[in-house]
Chain A
Amino acid sequence: EIILTQSPATLPVSPGERATLSCRASQSVRSYLAWYQQKPGQAPRLLIYGASNRATGIPARFSGSGSGTDFTLTISSLQSEDFAVYYCQQCSDWPRITFGQGTRLEI
């Protein structure tokens, strides 16, 4: 099983700041990585797939990068609605799909 380790677990930030979230895989997942945002009481929302492709309707302030084992989600200028938990997910080793444990963005 491929283990995804997200860091930090919690990231204190302020509106307008830049946020950088990390996801490291225990072995290469090539570019088969996605990022999801989840707000309390809501279902996850797909942000990025294929490591760097924004999903439909996702604002340009969200960007993804990386390949192999190291990936980054960057939110260029935080809005109040961006405070949530973010998960990375790999699908390189299908059907053994795994998620990271999440990074919480908080004020």
Chain B
Amino acid sequence: QVQLVESGGGVVQSGRSLRLSCAASGFSFSRNAMHWVRQAPGQGLEWVAVISVDGRDYHYTDSVKGRFTIARDNSKSTLYLQMNSLRDEDTAVYYCARDTSASANYYFDFWGQGTLVTVSS
């Protein structure tokens, strides 16, 4: 069965960096675009970033452009999110999510359990 397991969250000071990982199993990882979606405590969902199947194409929500980098290693079936210059407003549970398609149609059919990132000033 499809499994997505995030790791790397924690408490970090404002301005510092953190790298999240998402280990995928149960499907051919290289055949799906992948996303990060976050949810601030008690709030709704916010899409963060997407990466193509080959890792060459990616997009970000405006609030993280220039600070976050999405990447993938298909040989390890792992998705990453490098987060730099963290701000208080980045505090959230971060989910990795599988796109339903290789060509990124932005529907998310499987989600990890999430990893909590807390940015403290």
- On A, residues with C-beta under 8 Å from B are 32, 34, 36, 38, 42-46, 49-50, 55-56, 87, 89, 91, 94-102
B residues less than 8 Å from A87 (CB atoms): 44-45
A36 to B47, CA, bound (A): 13
Given contacts A43-B95, A43-B114, A95-B59, contact A100 B107 (CB under 8 A): no
Given contacts A44-B111, A49-B107, contact A89 B100 (CB under 8 A): no
* Number of B positions contacting A (CB below 8 A): 20
**Closest-CB distance, A42 to chain B (whole angstroms):** 8
B residues less than 8 Å from A94 (CB atoms): 59, 104, 106
Given contacts A43-B95, A87-B45, contact A97 B109 (CB under 8 A): no
Taking a contact as CB atoms under 8 Å apart, the answer to whether A45 and B45 are in contact is no
Taking a contact as CB atoms under 8 Å apart, the answer to whether A98 and B47 are in contact is yes
